[in-house]
Amino acid sequence: MRRFIPLGTALVLAAAVLTAPSSAVAGPADQTSVAAKAKAKPKKAKKQPTPYAFRAHGYGTRIIGGQVPAASGATALEVIGCTNKTGLNRSNNVAEVQIPGLGRISGVRTNVRTVKTANEVASISVHKVAEIVLAETQLGRLSIEGVTSVSKASATKSGYRADTETTLAKLVFRAPGGQAQVLPLPTLNRPIVVPGLLRVAIGDQLRRKGKDFARARANGLTITLIPTKTTVVVGRTVAYITRGIQSGLFSGSANATKTELLTGIVGTGRTQRVTMPCQGTDGKVRSSSAAGVDLPGILDLGVARSSQLGIQGRRVSRGFEESSVGSINLGNGALKIDAIKGRVNVSRAKGKKPVVNFSGSQVAGITVDGETYSLPELNGLEIPGVAKIETLVKTITRNGGEITAVRITLLGGQGGIINLGQAKLKIMPSGR
């Protein structure tokens, strides 16, 4: 992969032909003042529990798809996970990031917080980038300065609001030894395109609200590197708020399979994954299922299913996470297991420690090379050159528990771990 896009004469040509309008503010006009206030420096505030669940996160850059290196995760990432407290304030910054195939991004900063005022409660995510060098050669440098992305989800007496705003300060071309030239900026409907090299567009925005929630998301910029078919997302912000917190804060997930293969074979990652909302599921069972997920030449699976339930009460919160696999066939019949299920149940009364159990978990119908085994006999069993098996691997955590119904460690030249029937759940005190 090239370190920098070789713009050559195309860079100078691009600087001469860019004709997009100069305005770069995205989002409805009536939201601009709200987003502007969200960017203001937050004041220190006392942490207070509320009946609202908040989430917010943001990052500077993320590389997606195309010919990207392994290390292409989010930079300057900052997160506020499941919480019902206002007064939280977290920041992360990176002085400079080198983007393969593009150039450098400097002054990357993310701030996420939850606030309470006389008029509203809100989760807010703000990201700022000082400068993005789109390309730099002996003919000059093309850069965008002052990228800001804001997302805010709030609740007021009149209802819920979702606000977003993306702003760009200026697009600058600097020729060697010459004066900087300020060029027209991209807009939502008019991206900058250097044919065959790159495309720069204002990032997409999302604003959703309902009777008991609001969600806001904004990307500062989306840069497409045409030669490598790579997308660079710059300045992602996300904020979320919903009502429903009473006695507990839920955190959990379930997935039927999770593979960690070491030989370069494409794994399945987490399949049929469900993630518990912070406030629970409002007493409704949520599920995800599939007819089967296979690892060609290694493992054949039957029906995979995950489900969850979370119930909020004034005095008690309770729920479960569960995942199951109908059957597996490893090594063309070397190992067969039916009815694999991992389940964790948690309940928490106000002012008391959580009660955790794994009732409902099971492993049944086990056959190794045509011979039937019971569960105690299977645990720790090793099939020479094929796999080592562990069953009902349980862990009690501070506020809950987690389980893996079957863990298969592949032996021989394959290597890796296959986890089946994973579930975890915590219920933390809400402070209310």
Bridge partners, 335 (sequence order): 330, 368
Q: What is the pLDDT of residues 222-272, one digit of tens each?
A: 988 888 888 889 999 999 999 999 999 999 999 998 887 765 544 556 788
Q: What is the pLDDT of residues 175-201, one digit of tens each?
A: 887 778 887 777 777 888 877 778 888
Q: Is the pLDDT of residue 155 over 60?
A: yes
Q: In whole angstroms, what separates CA 365 from the centre of its chain? A: 37
Q: Is the pLDDT of residue 420 over 60?
A: yes
| Structure-model confidence comparison of residues 428 and 11, the more confident one | 428
pLDDT score, position 35: 56
Q: Compute the distance between CA of residue 285 and CA of residue 310 in angstroms, rounded to an integer.
A: 8
Q: Compute the distance between CA of residue 225 and CA of residue 292 in angstroms, rounded to an integer.
A: 37
pLDDT score, position 297: 65
Extract the tokens encoding 238.
Answer: 């996300």
Q: Compute the distance between CA of residue 13 and CA of residue 261 in angstroms, rounded to an integer.
A: 48
- Mean pLDDT of the 119-133 span: 94
Q: Compute the distance between CA of residue 332 and CA of residue 368 in angstroms, rounded to an integer.
A: 11
* Confidence class for position 129, pLDDT limits 50, 70, 90: very high
- Mean pLDDT of the 281-297 span: 84
Q: Compute the distance between CA of residue 83 and CA of residue 112 in angstroms, rounded to an integer.
A: 13
Q: What is the pLDDT of residues 310-362, one digit of tens each?
A: 999 999 999 999 999 998 888 777 788 899 999 999 999 999 999 999 999 99
pLDDT score, position 73: 65
User: What is the average pLDDT value for the chain, to the nearest integer?
Assistant: 83
Q: Is the pLDDT of residue 9 over 70?
A: no
Check: CB of residue 39 under 8 Å from CB of residue 126: yes
Residue 169, Ramachandran bin (φ over 0: left; ψ between -120 and 50: alpha; else beta): alpha
pLDDT score, position 70: 43
Q: Is the pLDDT of residue 365 over 80?
A: no
pLDDT score, position 33: 54
CA-nearest of 328, 310, 305, 326 to 254 is 305
- Mean pLDDT of the 62-80 span: 74
pLDDT score, position 324: 95
Question: According to the per-residue pLDDT averaged within each range, which of 33-47, 147-161, 287-301 is highest?
Answer: 147-161
Bridge partners, 344 (sequence order): 321
Q: Is the pLDDT of residue 423 over 80?
A: yes
pLDDT score, position 34: 56
Q: Compute the distance between CA of residue 99 and CA of residue 106 in angstroms, rounded to an integer.
A: 11
pLDDT score, position 430: 95
Considering only 64-68, 150-154, 305-309, 350-354, which range has the smallest mean pLDDT? Answer: 64-68
Check: CB of residue 132 under 8 Å from CB of residue 108: no
- Mean pLDDT of the 149-163 span: 96
| Structure-model confidence comparison of residues 400 and 408, the more confident one | 400
pLDDT score, position 16: 42
Q: Is the pLDDT of residue 418 over 60?
A: yes
Q: Compute the distance between CA of residue 35 and CA of residue 50 in angstroms, rounded to an integer.
A: 23
The whole-model pTM stands at 0.81
Q: Is 32 exposed, middle or buried (0-12, 13-18, 19+ CB in 10 A)?
A: middle
- Dihedral in degrees, nearest 10, Cα atoms 113, 114, 116, 120: 100
* Confidence class for position 43, pLDDT limits 50, 70, 90: low
